[in-house]
Structure 1
Amino acid sequence: MAVAKNDVDEAMLAATKDIEEAKVAAREEVEAVSAANKLDVKAAMAVAKNDVDEAMLAATKDIQEAKVAAREEVETSMASTKREISNAIIAAQTKVEEAKVAARDEIAAAMAANKLDVKAAMVAAKMDVEEAKDAAKMDAEESKVAAGEEIAAAMAAIKSDAKAAMVTAKADVEEAKISAKLDVEEAKDAARQE
């Protein structure tokens, strides 16, 4: 039994020793893994930092290039806009000048036409005045002739009426004389009979 107890004790010691060794081995392995993990983390962090730095550099470069491209595009657009504005101003000025020339020509043509119209109107008015004078003269002459004819007709009528009146008056006188003679004769006869 003493031998068995010793075996048990030895076995326990051996087991305890194995446990301690296993703990130490596990601790060392954990430390090694932790150290490796730390190294991996540091390496990963370094890689990530490098990636971030490269990404930031690339982004900064892209931003600068974009700024330059935008500035160039803006300058190009402004230059194009300035050219278009200048061309538009020149075209507008040209149109204004053309409109002025056209208006000047129209005014000159209108004034010339007005002058011609005035001259034509004056000529027509003068002709109308002359025609009116001629017509008035003709009307006066015709009136004179008509008045002369009417006066002559009236005088002839008056003469004819006077002659007729004289004839009538003479006939009346003769009739009165005859009537008076008859009355006298009748009176004589009557007196004689009485």
Structure 2
Amino acid sequence: MAGEGSATTSSLSEEELTLTVKWSGREYTVRVCGDDSVGELKRRICQLTNVLPKRQKLLYPKLLASKLADDSVLLSHLPLKSSLKMTMIGTVEDEIIVDQVEDPEIVDDFEFGQDEAVDIKDKEVNKQKLRRRIYQYKIELRNPCREGKKLLVLDIDYTLFDHRSTAENPLQLMRPYLHEFLTAAYAEYDIMIWSATSLA
């Protein structure tokens, strides 16, 4: 009996799985094995999209987001199916103007005295990223502004949507009363949604 159980486990771990990952309006085919980890899946997604594993958030039907957030979990322990599509939310490094602070409570003592007098906006590396973004960006006017209305610019990341949530469905990422807020704001302002994250 022990021999049969071992054979079953072995076949599951060696089985190749072909997943479809949606990101930025495109679909990517990713081939993995059952004995690969979530971290290896993210590494292969990175090879196709250039989105670093640390920037990736994976969404999958009927699967807890916390399991996909743990890079050490083996894919053979997850109910993945080739017939279902996985969504990846993430941004390539070149599209990030200023890197987000992973933990604002951690302070690097060595930074004081060196960069203390230099604001983030004045750092050359951030200026280069901003110049590259301005050069590459193409403005497409979809809706003209209403006369007499001021423009309200809202950042989608962590303002309209909670991207650190463990919700499985993207609709569950919305902040409470989001629609009511946008409806009330639109009565007085034209609204523009901005994000550095590729969600399309």
Query: Normalised by the size of structure 1, how large is the TM-score?
Result: 0.16
Q: Which structure is higher in RCO with an 8 Å CA cutoff and minimum separation 6?
A: 2
Query: Normalised by the size of structure 2, how large is the TM-score?
Result: 0.16
The structure with the larger Rg is 1
Which structure features the higher share of strand residues? Answer: 2
